[in-house]
Amino acid sequence: MGERVKKTAYRNLKLRYSLLKFFYSIFVKNNGAGVFWKPLFFNFPDDENCYDDKVMNEQFMIGDYLLAAPGLYENANIYEPYFPSAGWNDLLTGF
């Protein structure tokens, strides 16, 4: 393995374990009860775009702070998730 592979693996593992800590903290906060993966309209009930079928079927919130928009379609080169009005930051850069 080259240096590039090592750096990429390190970065991805660091992100993975950071997310696991985040998931665990949400689970503990909820005392093991309730769902912490929920549709966007739970967090943004006044935003009508969150009730759109595409948004409801393809995006969800993890806790109150992390929006998940997985790529669900094979050979899709472009994916444009919907971000409700909020102070969003990039997960990898923090900006």
- Cβ atoms of 85 and 67 closer than 8 Å: no
Do both 45 and 80 map to the same domain? yes
Tens digit of each residue's pLDDT (9 = 90 or more) over 22-35? 989 988 888 877 77
In a domain, 47, yes or no: yes
* Domains of the chain: total: 2
Do both 56 and 23 map to the same domain? no
- Interval 77-89 mean pLDDT: 91
In a domain, 95, yes or no: no
Which pLDDT belongs to residue 76? 87
Dist. CA 28–CA 46, nearest whole Å? 28
Do both 63 and 84 map to the same domain? yes
Do both 23 and 45 map to the same domain? no
pTM of the model: 0.79
In a domain, 94, yes or no: no
In a domain, 21, yes or no: yes
Q: Which amino acid would we find at residue 68?
A: A
Do both 48 and 77 map to the same domain? yes
Q: Which amino acid would we find at residue 51?
A: Y
Structural domain for 19, as ranges = 1-30
